Structure 1
Amino acid sequence: MTQAPVPTADTVRGLVRALVEESGSGGPGPEVRPVRAEDPAFTWWVGPRHVLRLAPDRDASARQRRELRLRDLVRPHVPVALPTGLAQGEWSPGLAYTLDTKLPGGTAEEHDVSAVGEADLAGLLGGLREVQPRQAEALGVPRAAPRSLEALRRMAVAAARRLARADEFDAGLLNQLTPPGAAQLAARPAPSVLVHHRLRGEHLVVSADGRVRGVLGWTDAVLGDPAEDIAGLALAVGSGAAVRAATLAGYGARPCLRGLWLARCDTVVRLAERLEGHGADDPLPLLRNRLRRAWEAILLERVTEFREGGEDGEDGGEGDPAGDAV
Structure 2
Amino acid sequence: MTQAPTPSAETVRRLARSLLTDSGTGAASGTGPDVRPAVAGDEPATWWVGTRHVLRLAPDREASVRRRRELRLRDLVRPHVPIALPTCVAHGEWAPGLLAVLDTGLAGATAEEHAVSALGEADLAGLLTGLREVPPRQAETLGVPRVSPRSLEALRRAAEAAAERLAEADEFDPARLGQLTPPAALQLAAQPGTAVLVHHALTGRHLVVGADGRVRGVLGWDDAVIGDPAEDIADLARAAGAPAAVRAATLAGYGARPCLRGLWLARCDAVLHLAEALTGRTADAPPALRTRLRRAWEPILLERVTDLGDGDETV
Q: 1:3 deviation in Å?
A: 1.4
| Partner Cα separation in structure 2 for residue 14 and residue 215 of structure 1 | 28
Which amino acid in 1 is paired with 2:122?
A: A
* Equivalent pair of 1:9/1:32 in contact (CA under 8 Å): yes
Q: 2:305 aligns with which of 303, 306, 313?
A: 303
Aligned to 1:282: 284
Query: How many equivalent pairs are there?
Result: 312
Task: Name the CA shift for 1:105/1:26 in 2 (closer, same or farther; >3 Å).
Answer: closer
TM-score scaled to structure 2, two decimals? 0.97
* Equivalent pair of 2:17/2:27 in contact (CA under 8 Å): no
Task: Name the CA shift for 1:277/1:25 in 2 (closer, same or farther; >3 Å).
Answer: closer
Aligned to 1:265: 268
| Partner Cα separation in structure 1 for residue 87 and residue 65 of structure 2 | 18
| Partner Cα separation in structure 2 for residue 8 and residue 191 of structure 1 | 45
Secondary structure of the residue aligned to 2:36 is strand
Identical amino acids, percent of aligned pairs: 71
* 1:251 maps to 2:241: no
Aligned to 2:19: 19
Task: Name the CA shift for 1:91/1:208 in 2 (closer, same or farther; >3 Å).
Answer: same
| Partner Cα separation in structure 2 for residue 248 and residue 118 of structure 1 | 9
Which amino acid in 2 is paired with 1:282?
A: D
Which amino acid in 2 is paired with 1:46?
A: V
Q: 1:307 deviation in Å?
A: 1.2
Task: Name the CA shift for 1:21/1:300 in 2 (closer, same or farther; >3 Å).
Answer: closer
Which amino acid in 2 is paired with 1:40?
A: E
Aligned to 1:54: 57
Aligned to 2:242: 239
Q: Deviations over 1:42-83 (max 9, x none)?
A: 000000010000000011001111111111111111111000
Aligned to 2:142: 139
| Partner Cα separation in structure 2 for residue 129 and residue 241 of structure 1 | 19
Aligned to 1:312: 313
Aligned to 2:195: 192
| Partner Cα separation in structure 2 for residue 116 and residue 26 of structure 1 | 38
Secondary structure of the residue aligned to 1:161 is helix
Aligned to 2:41: 38
Q: 1:8 deviation in Å?
A: 1.6
Task: Name the CA shift for 1:156/1:293 in 2 (closer, same or farther; >3 Å).
Answer: same
Q: 1:13 deviation in Å?
A: 1.4
Q: 1:99 deviation in Å?
A: 0.2
Secondary structure of the residue aligned to 1:39 is coil
| Partner Cα separation in structure 1 for residue 111 and residue 27 of structure 2 | 35
Task: Name the CA shift for 1:129/1:110 in 2 (closer, same or farther; >3 Å).
Answer: same
| Partner Cα separation in structure 1 for residue 120 and residue 296 of structure 2 | 18
Secondary structure of the residue aligned to 2:202 is coil
Task: Name the CA shift for 1:253/1:26 in 2 (closer, same or farther; >3 Å).
Answer: closer
Which amino acid in 1 is paired with 2:12?
A: V
- Structure 1 runs of 4+ aligned residues shifted over 4 Å read none
Which amino acid in 2 is paired with 1:226?
A: P
Structure 1 regions of 5+ residues with no counterpart?
315-326
Which amino acid in 2 is paired with 1:293?
A: R
Aligned to 2:229: 226
TM-score scaled to structure 1, two decimals? 0.93
Q: 1:97 deviation in Å?
A: 0.7
Q: 1:107 aligns with which of 86, 90, 110?
A: 110
| Partner Cα separation in structure 2 for residue 260 and residue 311 of structure 1 | 16
| Partner Cα separation in structure 2 for residue 291 and residue 261 of structure 1 | 12
Aligned to 1:96: 99
Secondary structure of the residue aligned to 1:219 is helix
Aligned to 1:4: 4
Q: 1:25 deviation in Å?
A: 4.8
Secondary structure of the residue aligned to 2:223 is coil
Q: 1:36 deviation in Å?
A: 1.0
Secondary structure of the residue aligned to 1:188 is coil
Task: Name the CA shift for 1:175/1:191 in 2 (closer, same or farther; >3 Å).
Answer: closer
Q: Deviations over 1:12-45 (max 9, x none)?
A: 0121232344346562321001011111110000
| Partner Cα separation in structure 2 for residue 68 and residue 18 of structure 1 | 20
| Partner Cα separation in structure 1 for residue 16 and residue 117 of structure 2 | 38
Secondary structure of the residue aligned to 2:103 is strand
| Partner Cα separation in structure 2 for residue 208 and residue 183 of structure 1 | 40
| Partner Cα separation in structure 2 for residue 90 and residue 218 of structure 1 | 20
* Equivalent pair of 2:253/2:314 in contact (CA under 8 Å): no
Which amino acid in 1 is paired with 2:3?
A: Q
